[in-house]
Amino acid sequence: MKTFRPLFFFTSILLIVGLACAGSGGGDTPSQPEQPSQPEATQPPAVQPTAVPPTEAPPPTQPAPPSASEFFKEEFDTPLSSDWDIFTVTGSDAADTDKVTVEAEDGKLVWNFDSEQVYYYLFYNAFEYEDVQIAVRADNRGRNNNSISLVCRYDPEVGWYEFNIANNGLYDILYAEVTSSGKIAYNAITNGGSNSIKQGKEVNEYSISCKGEELTLNINGDEVNSIIEKKYGLRKGQVGVSVSSFDVLPILIEMDWIEISEP
């Protein structure tokens, strides 16, 4: 009897080895690595457009006030500016400065006095002058007893030079002194009379020059007086103009212009 034990044994060995390899997992399909996930595309948030308000035009600006002039001719087409200061002196207790008006009207500076013994001044405060000339053209429309004065080197704490021309043909050059009590004392420097003054209801042109120590008065184009003044020795100050009433009324003066210039 033939036996097949060795062949069976060899076959068994092959079968065991095959099962062992299968148990080791070598027959499984290897797993694929996970792919990184792609980020989802996102849209930026919607922005609501903001309405831009229309640009508003800036409000109109007021024109700057004209700067004051050092030398000029004032013809009174507009009211007097704040460059002019008012100063009054009274010659009696009965004087009433409220009864005096000085206003620019129709191209003239109108001085209207309804009170006696009032000396009414306008001083130009924008500049101080050493050497200067001031002139005025004045029409007398009232009584024949008044005076017109031109002033140079006005200092409110010291005094001023005053050229005083009366409608009756006389004139004075004065030093008006501010006293310790605040009152005004008028000191005569010189005086006289002149046929150059047109009396009554007439038009006169007066001008004065203050240059160094020399004080000069001109009336209607004529040099009436020129003196050297050393006693009071005023050196600089403001200029001004004045009208005075005395003991008769009414006093009415119309000035066509005032001119400030170099001498």
Is 227:242 a contact under the CB 8 Å cutoff?
Answer: no
Where do we find the tokens 């210039």? 261
Residue 176 and residue 207: Cα distance in Å, rounded? 18
User: What domains are there in the chain, each with its CATH number?
Assistant: 78-261 (2.60.120.560)
CA distances 2 to 13, 257, 259, Å, are 21, 166, 165
Residue 150 and residue 210: Cα distance in Å, rounded? 11
- Residue 164's identity, in one-letter code, is N
- pLDDT tens for the chain, 263 residues long, are 444 444 444 444 444 444 444 444 444 444 544 544 444 444 444 444 444 455 555 566 666 556 899 999 999 999 999 999 999 999 999 999 999 999 999 999 999 999 999 999 999 999 999 999 999 999 999 988 899 999 999 999 999 999 999 989 999 999 999 999 999 999 999 999 999 999 999 999 999 999 999 999 999 999 999 999 999 999 999 999 999 999 999 999 999 999 999 99
Tokens of 137: 């053209």
Residue 150 and residue 124: Cα distance in Å, rounded? 12
pTM of the prediction?
0.75
Structure confidence at residue 12 (pLDDT): 45
Structure confidence at residue 149 (pLDDT): 98
Tokens of 146: 């008044």
- Residue 90's identity, in one-letter code, is T
Structure confidence at residue 210 (pLDDT): 98
Structure confidence at residue 144 (pLDDT): 81
Where do we find the tokens 């996930």? 37
Structure confidence at residue 67 (pLDDT): 81
Structure confidence at residue 143 (pLDDT): 85
Alpha-carbon dihedral sign for residues 80, 82, 84, 87: positive
- Measure CA of the first residue to CA of the last residue in the chain; give whole Å: 171
Burial bucket for residue 189 (CB in 10 Å: 0-12, 13-18, 19+) = middle
Tokens of 237: 């100050």
**Of 150, 132, 127, 164, nearest in space to 238 by CA:** 127
What is the 3 state secondary structure string of the chain? Answer: CCCCHHHHHHHHHHHHHHHHHHHCCCCCCCCCCCCCCCCCCCCCCCCCCCCCCCCCCCCCCCCCCCCCCCCEEECCCCCCCCCEEEEEEECCCCCCHHHEEEEEECCEEEEEECCCCEEEEEEEEEEEECCEEEEEEEEECCCCCEEEEEEEEEECCCEEEEEEEECCCEEEEEEEEECCCCCEEEEEEEEEECCCCCCCCCEEEEEEEEECCEEEEEECCEEEEEEECCCCCCCCEEEEEEEEECCCCCEEEEEEEEEEECC
